[in-house]
Amino acid sequence: MNIHSQTEEPMTAAPPLHLTHAQSMDQRSAEILEGVRRAFAEKGFDGASMQDLARSCGMSVGNFYRYFPSKAAIVAALILRDLAEMEATFREILRSPDPLSGLRATINARIMQGDCEGEGQLWAEITAAALRKAEISAITTHMEHEIIGYLTSIFAKAKNLTEADARERYYPQAMLLVMLVKASAMHPAENPRAQQRLTDLLLHTVARTIDDVANDDLKG
Amino acid sequence: MNIHSQTEEPMTAAPPLHLTHAQSMDQRSAEILEGVRRAFAEKGFDGASMQDLARSCGMSVGNFYRYFPSKAAIVAALILRDLAEMEATFREILRSPDPLSGLRATINARIMQGDCEGEGQLWAEITAAALRKAEISAITTHMEHEIIGYLTSIFAKAKNLTEADARERYYPQAMLLVMLVKASAMHPAENPRAQQRLTDLLLHTVARTIDDVANDDLKG
């Protein structure tokens, strides 16, 4: 979400934050998103009230509502920020000489990092909410389509196919990779040895899935 | 979980749950669990109040509290019921001459059936709550251990290993199978063709994971 759009608020409402530099704006929006992330993780998507969420960012409820008129708007902001980060990574992979290896390394790093930042918890909340609320579902579906789009672009480059052909051909592989990363992030921490063995098998499954694309002979 | 019928309200604050006879798992308890399942699916784990949950079962709040002193107690009841159903299936697989084929067929059926009964939605709610609340986590961890136990029993029989050895050796495969079934149930419905292609790849991934166990030469 473009947090800067807050300056486009109606004239009657004073802009809530007088931040002149884009940098401090980014800093503040990162703090706000971190606050709501924490509040959702503590109380759950439905358990966290708009008041809880406002408080987690050190804002008044009225002010908070001007940034985020609904929880759906918050989820959209969180997701658009994650997408922007991912886009940078995917663009780098697409520029590399061996995009499938780059993709594998990126997914492996994501799986190995586990849920150290509470991402999995937040994802579990959003996944549950999306199955229940059409407006959240629309946002998560958009995110998933974007990620699938990046993945199939990488497959297109690796296999010398058009994006449309790659998407048509490798949609299931792309979706399975998304599912494996999500399932791994949402999996509660285990003892280190069990965790390591499960991680190894997940990486093996990711490798096989990407190898299926690499080894696909494009016939049939 | 044994739930007394609504007409058996205790006169005093006597403990409402006397978990003695499996046959008390009657029509009424199935209705109650179906009601709470629906309420959680509609409003979310935290969004559904005890009042919502009581109403969904056509019970007074006071009466409902006597059956379920907390949401954790409800989750425990739902999970114990699911486990009882699964146990019957797993026991049948263990009696069959080719338990790995039986396991594959059972997992395939589960994945192909998709989320037609709102199971995935409920699972997403419970997964999110478990990452946030220790008491829910204890219940879901228990369930996962039970399922992993059944899976490794099946692997033990197929590979002629002790249960302990099978568990030690194939824990990651068992956990990956659980993750694939859960991820598949939680995945929102897509258009039928995309859904079918993703399902095919999931079944292929399940087959490979079970084949890894079947083909393991038990050396090393």
* pLDDT of res. A105: 96
* pLDDT of res. A27: 76
Mean pLDDT for the stretch of residues B119-132: 85
* pLDDT of res. A94: 96
Contact indicator for B135, B74 with CB cutoff of 8 Å? no
Of A89-93, B31-35, B77-81, which has the strongest mean pLDDT? A89-93
The span from the CA of A104 to the CA of A99, in Å, is 9
Mean pLDDT for the stretch of residues B193-212: 96
Beta carbons of B131 and A186 less than 8 Å apart: yes
Mean pLDDT for the stretch of residues B85-104: 95
Which residues of B fall within a CB distance of 8 Å from A45? 44, 46-47, 128
Tell me which CATH code domain B78-220 carries: 1.10.357.10
Beta carbons of B128 and A131 less than 8 Å apart: no
* pLDDT of res. B131: 85
Summarize pLDDT for A167-211 with one digit per residue, the tens. Answer: 999 999 999 999 999 999 988 888 899 999 999 999 999 999 999
Which residues of A fall within a CB distance of 8 Å from B182? 183
Beta carbons of A132 and B175 less than 8 Å apart: no
Nearest to A175 among B131, B141, B198 (CB): B198
Which residues of B fall within a CB distance of 8 Å from A128? 44-45, 121, 124-125, 127-128
Summarize pLDDT for A94-120 with one digit per residue, the tens. Answer: 999 999 999 999 999 999 987 656 678
Interface residues on A facing B, Cβ-Cβ cutoff 8 A: 41-48, 120-121, 124-125, 127-132, 137, 140-141, 171-173, 175-176, 179-180, 182-184, 186-188, 194, 197-198, 200-202, 205, 208-209
Mean pLDDT for the stretch of residues A79-99: 93
Q: Which of A94-103, B116-125, B169-178 has the lowest mean pLDDT?
A: B116-125
* pLDDT of res. A11: 38
Summarize pLDDT for A25-65 with one digit per residue, the tens. Answer: 567 778 888 899 889 888 888 889 999 999 998 999 998 98
Mean pLDDT for the stretch of residues B196-209: 96
| Residue A180: how many other CB atoms lie within 10 Å | 23
* pLDDT of res. B117: 62
Residues of chain A with CATH 1.10.357.10: 79-215
- CA dihedral angle for residue A71, residue A76, residue A79, residue A83, rounded to 10 degrees: -170
- The answer on pLDDT for B91 being more than 90 is yes
Q: Mean pLDDT of all residues in chain B?
A: 85
* pLDDT of res. B37: 86
Predicted ipTM of the assembly: 0.83
Kindly state which CATH superfamily the domain A79-215 is placed in. Tetracycline Repressor, domain 2 (1.10.357.10)
**B111 pLDDT tier (thresholds 50, 70, 90):** very high
Nearest CA distance, A124 vs chain B (angstrom): 5
Residue with more model confidence, B184 or B220: B184
- The answer on pLDDT for B63 being more than 70 is yes
Q: Which of A7-16, A108-117, B89-98, B174-183 has the lowest mean pLDDT?
A: A7-16
Judged by DSSP in three states, A47 sits in coil
Contact indicator for A156, A165 with CB cutoff of 8 Å? yes
Q: What are phi and psi of A162, to 5 degrees?
A: -70, 160
If you write DSSP's letter for every residue of B136-191 in order, what string do you get? Answer: HHHHHHHHHHHHHHHHHHHHHHHHT--HHHHHHHHHHHHHHHHHHHHHHHHSPP--
Q: How far is CA B146 from CA A53, A218, B78, B126, B167, in A?
A: 37, 43, 15, 17, 12
Mean pLDDT for the stretch of residues B52-60: 92
**A133 pLDDT tier (thresholds 50, 70, 90):** confident
Nearest CA distance, A44 vs chain B (angstrom): 7
* pLDDT of res. A50: 92
What class has domain A1-69? mainly alpha
**B161 pLDDT tier (thresholds 50, 70, 90):** very high
* pLDDT of res. A116: 59
Q: Which of A42, A116, A125, A213 to mutate to test the interface with B (most CBs of B within 10 A)?
A: A125
- What's the count of helices (H) and strands (E) in chain A, helices before strands? 9, 0
Residues of chain B with CATH 1.10.10.60: 1-69
Q: How many CB pairs under 8 A join A and B?
A: 122
